[in-house]
Amino acid sequence: MHKRTLLATVLFLIAFLALSWRVSAQNPGPVIERCTPSSGSVNSVLECDGFRLGAEELDPKRVRAIFKKDDVRIPGKVGGSSRVTNDVQTGQQSLDVVVPEEITPGRWQLVIEVGERSSQPVTIEIGEWTPPKLGSVMPQTVSHGEFVWLYGGNLHVNDEIEITDALGHVLRFTSGASGGSTGFTVPRNMPEGKASVRIGLASKNSFSDPLTFVVTSGPIALALWDNQMTKVARGQWTNLVATSLKPLEGADGAEVEFRQGEQVVIQPTLKPGSVHVQVPAALKPGSVELRTRTLRQGLVSEWSKSIVYQIVERPVAPIVNAIEMGDKGAPVFLWEGPDRPTKFDVEPGYELTLRGSFPVGTLNHLLVTFQSSTDQFSLTPTEGEREGLLLKLPGELKTGDWKLSISDIESGIAALIPVIMHVK
């Protein structure tokens, strides 16, 4: 080979390797930080946490879980997932992996493959089948047709949920698990009273220890999730976040007790069937205990278990997390992240639904302002489905780019909606 040709080939290879290294550095592969639990058996569900696990699409041809030992490779089924919206590369993700039936007891290496990239392996100890461990039931008082969450460990996708009702009748059915939870819907004909639930396999005559719950046709309090409600200042409004909204069906109203030291304020929600409630202006910024109860046909439920809520010092602005355009395109998600869109397209006359956190009592306290380089106008939203803000764009809207902002008229607090609306 000629010296110049050899030199050109070497330089080309160096450049190619450098480019490949840069591409690899800019687009790193999947990373498993941990899998919980780190041991399991056939049909166990492992919840793997990490980065770039393919949770944004879950295409089985592209996202694969492989159990490896020596030269043996056995694929596991990939199940549920979660991810940080608008941050595919650096946002935390989780992936449920089901231990395959072909696997044998022993120490295995689990890797996640996304496309052509593969994670570093994590060690999983595979043992003989053991029954699940049931930790909690939420909510503990339920109505007919309500979904009940079961939380525990060592769950399997083919576990059977066994319910023994208040009359001693046994109902058993299969319900697949996802991570550390599973659940069931209370049958419409289930007798009222104390019932029990356990999880396992009848074929092995092996179940978890039972936990109890109560079935009633009377009013039931909303069971609140800890640390899920939007924090607002006193006098502003927030939404209750409950395990189920079933208790509001047919209820004449719901009440929220705010307890701060010796001070107790009972506040009704905005209207029957609503989870919108005002934080009492008489309270101070800081921690407060919340619990709920519902009213129906002259009867009052017991109070729910209390949670701790934080009242912030300064009023918060309205926040828009997503914009929907009916059936005219995919929603535009606005959570912070490097993949957040900068622009979305509309046409004059489109209807937009804004979803987010709106700390006002009624929608006529909000104003959405549209501003271009030459024009400005504002719209007062109306109520859309699922507590969204509905806006109908003018039919004569000019083409071009528009900035959007949303304001609380009463407090004067405004916030920019972080995306440009492009009118085609």
**254-269 pLDDT per residue, tens:** 999 999 999 999 999 9
Q: Is 67:35 a contact under the CB 8 Å cutoff?
A: no
State the pLDDT at residue 20.
38
In the predicted model, is pLDDT for residue 384 greater than 80? yes
CA distance 13 to 29: 23
CA 105 to chain CA mean position, Å: 34
**% pLDDT > 70, the chain:** 94
| pTM for this predicted structure | 0.84
Q: Is 60:87 a contact under the CB 8 Å cutoff?
A: no
DSSP string, 232-269: -BTT-EEE--BS-SGGGTT-SEEEEEEEETTEEEEEE-
User: Residue 232 corresponds to which tokens in the numbers above?
Assistant: 């607002």
Burial annotation 108-120 (CB, 10 A radius, 16+ → b, else e): bebbbbbeeeebe
State the pLDDT at residue 13.
45
Place of tokens 């109070």: 303
User: What's the mean pLDDT in 272-282?
Assistant: 95
> Quick one: the chain helix, strand, coil %, rounded to 5?
10, 50, 45
State the pLDDT at residue 17.
39
Distances (CA, A) of 112 to 29, 52, 84, 99, 223: 10, 10, 18, 13, 37
In the predicted model, is pLDDT for residue 406 greater than 60? yes
State the pLDDT at residue 2.
52
- Strand 414-423 and strand 400-408: the pairing is antiparallel
User: Residue 169 corresponds to which tokens in the numbers above?
Assistant: 């009748």
CA distance 249 to 255: 14
State the pLDDT at residue 5.
52
State the pLDDT at residue 327.
76
CA distance 208 to 201: 9
Place of tokens 């160096």: 14
- Strand 72-83 and strand 117-118: the pairing is unpaired
In the predicted model, is pLDDT for residue 32 greater than 80? yes
CA distance 284 to 303: 23
State the pLDDT at residue 10.
42
State the pLDDT at residue 26.
56
Cα angle for residues 312, 314, 318 (degrees, 5° grid): 90
State the pLDDT at residue 241.
96
In the predicted model, is pLDDT for residue 316 greater than 80? yes
pLDDT band at 92, cuts 50/70/90? Answer: very high
205: CB partners within 8 A, 6+ apart = none
**% pLDDT > 90, the chain:** 83
234 or 21, which is more confident? 234
User: What's the mean pLDDT in 269-279?
Assistant: 95
State the pLDDT at residue 270.
94
State the pLDDT at residue 259.
98
User: What's the mean pLDDT in 411-418?
Assistant: 93
CA distance 374 to 398: 10
DSSP string, 210-222: PEEEEE-SS--PP
Longest dimension (CA), the chain: 98
In the predicted model, is pLDDT for residue 147 greater than 50? yes
Of 109, 91, 80, the C-alpha closest to 50 is: 91
In the predicted model, is pLDDT for residue 7 greater than 60? no
What's the N-to-C CA distance of the chain in angstroms?
A: 59
Q: Is 147:244 a contact under the CB 8 Å cutoff?
A: yes
State the pLDDT at residue 185.
94
Q: What's the full length of the chain, in residues?
A: 424
Reduced to 3 states (helix: H, G, I; strand: E, B; else coil), residue 398 is: coil
CA distance 137 to 145: 16
User: What's the mean pLDDT in 191-209?
Assistant: 96
pLDDT band at 350, cuts 50/70/90? Answer: very high
State the pLDDT at residue 9.
47
pLDDT band at 80, cuts 50/70/90? Answer: confident
Of 35, 69, 71, 67, the C-alpha closest to 53 is: 35
pLDDT band at 293, cuts 50/70/90? Answer: very high
54: CB partners within 8 A, 6+ apart = 30, 62, 63, 81, 93, 95, 112, 114
Hey, what amino acid is at 23? Answer: V
User: Residue 90 corresponds to which tokens in the numbers above?
Assistant: 């650096």
Dihedral of the CA atoms 88, 89, 92, 93 (nearest 10)?
60
Cα angle for residues 265, 268, 271 (degrees, 5° grid): 165
User: Residue 357 corresponds to which tokens in the numbers above?
Assistant: 């956190």
pLDDT band at 71, cuts 50/70/90? Answer: very high
Of 219, 305, 289, the C-alpha closest to 254 is: 219
User: What's the mean pLDDT in 302-310?
Assistant: 96
In the predicted model, is pLDDT for residue 15 greater than 80? no
What digits encode the pLDDT tens for the residues 165-193? 999 999 998 877 777 899 999 999 999 99
Of 295, 134, 299, the C-alpha closest to 213 is: 134
CA distance 206 to 200: 6
